[in-house]
Amino acid sequence: MDPRLQKHPLGYFEIVNKPTTEELQEYYSDKYYQEAKSSYEHEYSEDELTYFQVKLEQRFAALQKAQPNLRCGGQFLDVGCGEGYALAFFRNKGYETKGLDFSSAGIESKNPNCVDVLETGNVFELLKEEITSGNVYDVVWLQNVLEHVLDPISLLKSLRKLVSSNGVVVITVPNDCSIVQREALERNYIDHAFWIAPPDHLSYFDYNSMKNIAGETDWYCADIYGDFPVDLFLLHPESNYVRNKLLGKDAHRSAVQIENLISKKPIEQVLDFWRSVAQVGIGRNLTSFFIPKV
């Protein structure tokens, strides 16, 4: 095991020497100030925009499957809402939406019609305020958030107060320390564990640990789905984007195109496929659907 990591009793890996709360706040304040100035100038291709929508449609179908009693047109909270694509999607589905983010730059650039439901500031502090305020949501959306927090177990326990009895928490995390990544490292196809990235990523989850975490934090894990296993490109020298950074854009483009092709199949087949990808441990990301324990 990499000496920077230790294994939590629930099966996920975490950074040994975590930053303090103050250090983390200072880091994110500086990071998101810089990103607000530059990161959202990128224009997406038509394939990428299609990809955003098909993944949202898949996750919407999955959350309805996970929670058949979900209230249509209910309350939706997006924690770390970025460019606002999920906010716009759920608003179009009739939900009352709210987004939390460090900056308004992403939404102003890509989904300016959602600025009115955005609250900016330290996302983790804003989330604490939501939890203590007594607000209740039918869908809480945590896309690439859990890996950043100092104590993911405490966060998930506290979220129980924020979610309605027939609600869903949708949690997307990177599938880091995966079997594909470890294989690439053990065979010397890559020369370092590029996925270990503190202070950005403090915890590293897989399929089994997400199941374990749900049980420990008063949730039931209704389902877990993977997405395109872009790390497979690391096993071929002509597509290894870690060895050759110039290959990164082509790897991303291929992943997007393949995702879009798969999405043309019936939704049940698509969900079955991505569920299998998660189960065998090769997806680049994992999206879990947690519902309250009865």
Give the pLDDT band (50/70/90) at residue 38: low
Q: What is the CA radius of gyration of the chain?
A: 19
pLDDT digits (tens, 9 = 90+) for 80-95: 999 999 999 999 999 9
- Give residue 37's pLDDT: 54
Give the pLDDT band (50/70/90) at residue 39: low
CA distance 74 to 137: 7
Give the pLDDT band (50/70/90) at residue 25: confident
pLDDT digits (tens, 9 = 90+) for 219-248: 999 999 999 999 999 999 999 999 999 999
Closest CA to 156 of 166, 146, 144: 146
CATH topology classification for 43-292: Rossmann fold (3.40.50)
Hey, which bits of the chain come out as E strands? 5-7, 13-15, 75-79, 96-101, 118-120, 137-143, 163-174, 203-204, 219-226, 285-292
Mean pLDDT, to the nearest integer, of 136-151? 97
Sheet holding 285-292, edge to edge: 118-120, 96-101, 75-79, 137-143, 163-174, 285-292, 219-226
AA letter at 46: E
Return the domain boundaries, the chain.
43-292
The chain-wide mean pLDDT, for the chain, equals 95
| pTM (2 d.p.) | 0.96
CA distance 176 to 137: 29
